[in-house]
Structure 1
Amino acid sequence: MRDVRDLGSSHSWTLHQAVTGDGRQVFVKRARGAGDVFAAEAAGLRWLKEAGPRAPVADVLEVAGDHLVLPWLEETAPTREAAERFGRDLALLHLARPDRYGAPWPGKIADLDLDNTPDGGPWSRWYAERRLAPYLRRAAGTLGPGLTRRVERVLERIGDLAGPEEGPARIHGDLWSGNVMWTTGGAVLIDPAAHGGHRETDLAMLGLFGLPHLATVLAAYAETAPPAAGWRERTPLHLLHPLLVHTVLYGAAYAGRVDEAVRNLSG
C-alpha cells in the first residue's frame, strides 16, 4: 500500500484511503487484534453478494486479522432513479432466502458479539432469544428497572407482535442510512451485520436515522416483493434490537428511543 491517507476512526479500528501496488484506490480498516470483527464483516459481505449479480454490496478485496480492504467508492448525491433501483435490488437480495435464521459464522455488530447460531425458527422466538434478550441484559443498568421490565413484557408477547411468519431472508442486519453509500453506479451496502433474519428488520432500519428518497426506495421494493400487511406498525419491534445495541454502546441517550418503541408496541 502507498499514499495512505488517514480518515479517522470508528469503534476500535482506524479508517484509511490507500493505493495498491497496481494503482487501485482502496478503503482500508485497520486495528490490532480485531480479526473476529473483520472476519465477520467480510463473511457477511460475501454472503450477501452470493444473492446474485444485482446484490448492491461492496466487494471484499482482502481480509486478515488486523485489516480489511474494500474498493474505494466515490460518493455522489442520491437520485430518484438510484433509489428506485436500490429498492428493487434490496427486494431481490431478501428473496435469495437462506434455510435458517442466523449465519454460519460468529457475528459482530460494532464491537459487540452477535449470536448467529443457525436456528430453524420461528423468527419471533429467535429474535427474542438471539437479538433482544442479550442486549437487554447489558442495557438494563442504563434503562432502569421500570423500562427494563416493560421491554421484558414485549419479549413475553413477541409471538403476538411479530406478524405472519415468512421464513428467513438474507438481510444486511444493520441497514441504517450511514451503511448505504450512494455512488455513480448506484447504492452500495457496507458494514453489514448480515444473517438470515426478517426482511422487515432492514426496512425498519432504513428509516431509523432517515434515508434520502426513502419513500421511493420502499415503493420500488414493494413493487418487487410486497411486505406483509401491517409491516409499518411492526417497525418499533424491529428497531428494538438496534436501539438496545446503541444503548449498550453509547449509554442513556438512547433510553428515550427504547421507551418510545415500547410505547408504540403497547398502544
Structure 2
Amino acid sequence: MNAREAVEALLDGRVTGVRRGGGSICLVTLHGGEVVVAKRGVGKGATEAEAAGLRWLGEYGDVPVPAVLGQDDEWLVLQYVPPASPAPAAAEAFGRGLARLHLRGAEAFGSPPPGGPVDAWMGVAPMRNEPHPDWPAFFAQERIEPYVRLCTDQRLLTSDEVKVFDTVCERLPALAGPAEPPARVHGDAWSGNVHWSHDGVWLIDPAAHGAHRESDLAMLLLFRTSLVDHILGAYAESATDAGAPLDGGWRDRIPLHQLFPLLMHAAVFGGGYARQALSAARAALR
C-alpha cells in the first residue's frame, strides 16, 4: 500500500481510526512496513490548506515538519514522526529554528501560503487569509471582528463587552508596537502542535499565513508549551543575532496576540473562553 492507496483505503472504509479535533486521524501501515498518518479534513479546503502550509513552513528546513505524502479533497497522508519526551536542548534548537522561520517572511499580512486557499482552517474553525497592507488592519478585520460576531450570535458577549473589542480594533495601530515586516508563521503554535521527537521538535497541524511573529510566541504561552522559557530564550538570542531583535515590549502585547485563539475557542467551545478573551482585551488596553 502506497500513500495514494492509503487514501483510497480510507475512502473505502477499509481503515478505521480515532476521532481527534473534529476530523479523523489514523495511523496506516503501508506495504513494506512504513507507518504514515492519514488525516481527514474538517471542511472544504482543509487538506489543501494544511498541505500548502507544511510545504511553505518546511521550505528551508528551519524547523522540521512532516512531509506530505498524498492528498485529495478529503484526506491528507503525512510522514509519521514518533513522539518523545521534551528536552532542553531540543527546545533551544526549536527556538532558534522558529526565529529563522519567522524571518523568512511572507508576501503580506494575511497572505496564504503559496498554493493555499484564502478560506482555510485553524483546527475546526474557519479562518480567512486575505492580504492586508499592515498587521493592525489584518488582525482587526480577519481575526478579531469575525469571531466577535460569532460569539455575539451565540450570546456569549453582551453589547457592552463587544465595545471592548471594538476599542481594541480602533486602537490597534497604537497597541501593535513598532512596525515589522510580515513573518512566516505557523499560526496555531499551541503546545499540542509542538511535537517532541527523538530528533528534535517538529511543527504539526499548521494554520500558516503571513502575520506578526509575536502571535506564534503568544500561542506558545497560551497553553504553556513544555520548556517554553528555553524556547523563548533561544528564540530571542537567535533573532538578535540575525539583526531582528524582539521589541522590548513584546511580552506586554501577549494578551493582544492571544485574542484570536481565545475568541476562536469561545466560538467553538463556549463561554469560558469568551471570559478569557474579554480579560485579554482589557489587558491589551491597559
Q: 2:134 aligns with which of 122, 135, 151?
A: 122
Over 3 Å off, 4+ runs: 1-5
Find the counterpart in structure 1 of residue 3 from structure 2: none
> Which residues in structure 2 correspond to 1:255-266 (within 5 Å)?
255-266=274-285
Q: Secondary structure at the match of 1:61?
A: strand
Name the counterpart of 1:22.
32
Gaps of 5+ in 1: none
TM-score (norm 1): 0.93
CA RMSD of aligned residues (A): 1.7
In structure 1, C-alpha distance between the alignment counterparts of 2:124 and 2:20, rounded to whole Å: 13
One-letter code aligned to 2:57: L
SS in 1 for 2:28: strand
How many residue pairs get aligned? The number is 263
SS of the equivalent of 1:143 reads coil
Q: Quick one: which of 4, 21, 43 aligns to 1:10?
A: 21
Q: How does 1:43-192 map to 2 (within 5 A)?
A: 43-50=52-59, 52-104=60-112, 105-106=117-118, 107-119=120-132, 121-140=133-152, 141-192=155-206
Mapped partners of 2:29, 2:167: distance in 1: 52
Does residue 227 of structure 1 match 2:246?
Answer: yes
Does the CA-based 8 Å contact 1:170-1:196 persist in structure 2?
A: yes
The structural deviation recorded for 1:4 is 4.7
- Give the Å deviation of 1:265: 1.6
Contact 1:34 1:65 in 2 (8 A): no
Structure 2: give runs of 5+ residues left out of the alignment. 1-5, 240-244
Aligned residues with identical type, % of pairs: 41
The 1-side partners of 2:37 and 2:78 are apart by 5
The alpha-carbon deviation at position 28 of structure 1 amounts to 1.0
The two structures have a TM-score, normalised by structure 2, of: 0.87
